[in-house]
Amino acid sequence: NISHELKTPVGAVAVLAEALMEETDPAVVHRLSDHLVEEAHRAVRTIDDLLKLSEIESTSVGDEIVELGVVVQSAVARGRVVDGGRGVEITSLDVPGGVWLRGDERQLTSAVGNLVENAVKYSHAGDVVQVRTRVDETAVEVMVADQGIGIPTRDLDRVFERFYRVDRARSRETGGTGLGLSIVRRVAANHGGEVLVSSQEGEGSTFVLRLPASLVVPPPERSLIDLHEEQQRRE
């Protein structure tokens, strides 16, 4: 799978570069260069995601204390960048302040970020993406719901597989690598949790990252020095 996924963009880069060498018409040169850059970026994204996945698979979860609200905020920010003003609205609701988890901040940020990024990519302009969190005695949940194209029932089980795309052409258009949800699933498992999906084709999808409540820890004690610095900043 990996060699195929890399061979396609790298092969395209080679063909486009050769065509460019013989081309003199500035308009064609321009078009070929655009394609060349696009294919090169595709290869880079695939390599980046493969490295991320292999790092997540091979390292154990860092023993950090992570604030849930910060993870959600940075995922929402990433969604806005991906949207790039296309007009998908992202709202985050019910994010309780002061919920701290024992986990790996980079991994959790990457997982929730991937869910928000997908929700934006597979939505239409004007659709709303909602990010909600819920904390109870059994679990901490981050829910990402969109009103986008949805996923056919027959594909629901497979979307977490590496390089699986429901619609290859659509994923290509949106610059997808087909690895985002494999990363989410792996991050969930590393934290003793899971990722669930429900979807209706044409109506939207909801992904839930569900982590065990045992990860919740009391807020870290801040040192007197931290408090002093904070006080000074306020003044």
With CB under 6 A as the rule, give the number of residues binding ligand ADP: 23
Q: How far apart are CA 145 and CA 78, in angstroms?
A: 16
Q: Give every CB contact of residue 210 below 8 A, 6+ residues apart in sequence.
A: 139, 140, 141, 188, 193, 194, 195, 196
Which residues make Cβ contacts (< 8 Å) with residue 216, sequence separation at least 6?
99, 100, 101, 135, 140
Tokens of residue 137, six digits: 């005695």
Residue from 43, 82, 143, 181 binding ligand ADP (CB under 6 A)? 181
List strand residue ranges (DSSP E) for 78-178, in order: 89-93, 100-103, 128-135, 139-145
Minimum gap (Å) between residue 136 Cβ and ligand ADP = 25
Q: Is 149 in the site for ligand ADP (CB under 6 A)?
A: yes
Distance of CA 191 to the CA centre of its chain: 17
Judged by CB under 6 A, the residue of 46, 92, 130, 205 near ligand ADP is 205
Does position 118 bind ligand ADP by CB under 6 A?
yes
Q: Write down the least CB distance from residue 91 to ligand ADP, Å.
A: 16
- Of 75 and 181, nearer to ligand ADP (C-beta) is 181
Nearest distance, CB of residue 204 and ligand ADP, angstroms: 7
The DSSP call for residue 213 is G
CA angle 20, 37, 82 (to 5 degrees): 160
Single residue of 179, 187, 195, 211 touching ligand ADP by CB under 6 A: 179
Among residues 146, 191, 193, 209, the one that binds ligand ADP under rule CB under 6 A: 146
Shortest distance in whole angstroms from residue 214 CB to ligand ADP: 28
Closer residue to ligand ADP in complex, CB, 101/159: 159
Q: Position of tokens 């986008």?
A: 148
Among 36, 56, 166, 215, binds ligand ADP (CB under 6 A): 166
**Interface residue list for ligand ADP (CB under 6 A):** 114, 118-119, 122, 146, 148-151, 159, 164-167, 171, 176-182, 205
